[in-house]
């Protein structure tokens, strides 16, 4: 079933647009005029990908920087952790002293799944997605 989700005028080249259709959270990606659609929730820890960045065909998660190819949904790298050591200077509560290291080690064991992709049809300036019942 094709479902209209946006107008082409709502999505500038290089832009991202969140849409919710039939209960699914999807992000539209305008890659230099060609529109792609993937799940909006990161395959690592569910961060909202519409808050990430799009460069060419690569959508980068705002939380741990996994990059996804929006043409295929494939996760292209492992999560990155941004601890610089400055956290230690913030004198966290005693029971959180080791939190950055603990979090980093734990996160290494969380798999990153590829994203589901959706077929996009652009007709008369209307962006439509093919939504299949699952
Ligand atoms: S939540 Fe997206 S890379 Fe971790």
Going from the Cα of 100 to the center of ligand 1, the distance in angstroms, rounded, reads: 16
Cα distance between residue 121 and residue 94, in whole Å: 55
Cα distance between residue 62 and residue 68, in whole Å: 12
Q: What is the pLDDT of residue 61?
A: 96
46 CA closest ligand 1 atom index: 1
| DSSP per-residue letters across 45-62 | T--BGGGSEEETTEEE-T
- Please report, for the chain, the start and end positions of each structural domain, with discontinuous segments joined by +: 2-78+114-124
The verdict on pTM exceeding 0.95 is no
Q: What is the pLDDT of residue 83?
A: 54
Going from the Cα of 44 to the center of ligand 1, the distance in angstroms, rounded, reads: 5
Ranges of the chain whose pLDDT falls below 50:
87-90, 92-93
Q: What is the pLDDT of residue 94?
A: 61
User: In this structure, are strands 53-55 and 34-39 parallel, antiparallel, or unpaired?
Assistant: unpaired
From residue 79, give the alpha-carbon distance in Å to each of 6, 12, 101, 127: 31, 28, 15, 31
Containing 104, the helix (H) or strand (E) segment is helix 99-107
Domain 2-78+114-124, CATH class in plain words: mainly beta
């Amino acid at each position: 079933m094709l479902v209209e989700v946006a107008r082409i005028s709502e999505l500038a080249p290089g832009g991202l647009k969140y849409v919710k259709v039939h209960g699914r959270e999807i992000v539209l990606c305008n890659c230099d005029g060609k529109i792609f659609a993937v799940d909006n929730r990161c395959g690592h820890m569910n961060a909202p990908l519409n808050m990430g960045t799009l460069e060419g065909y690569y959508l980068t998660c705002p939380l741990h920087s996994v990059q996804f190819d929006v043409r295929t949904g494939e996760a292209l790298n492992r999560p990155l952790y941004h601890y610089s050591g400055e956290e230690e200077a913030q004198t966290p509560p005693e029971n959180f002293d080791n939190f950055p290291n603990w979090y980093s080690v734990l996160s290494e064991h969380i798999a990153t799944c590829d994203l589901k992709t959706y077929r996009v049809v652009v007709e008369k300036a209307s962006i439509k997605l093919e939504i299949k019942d699952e």
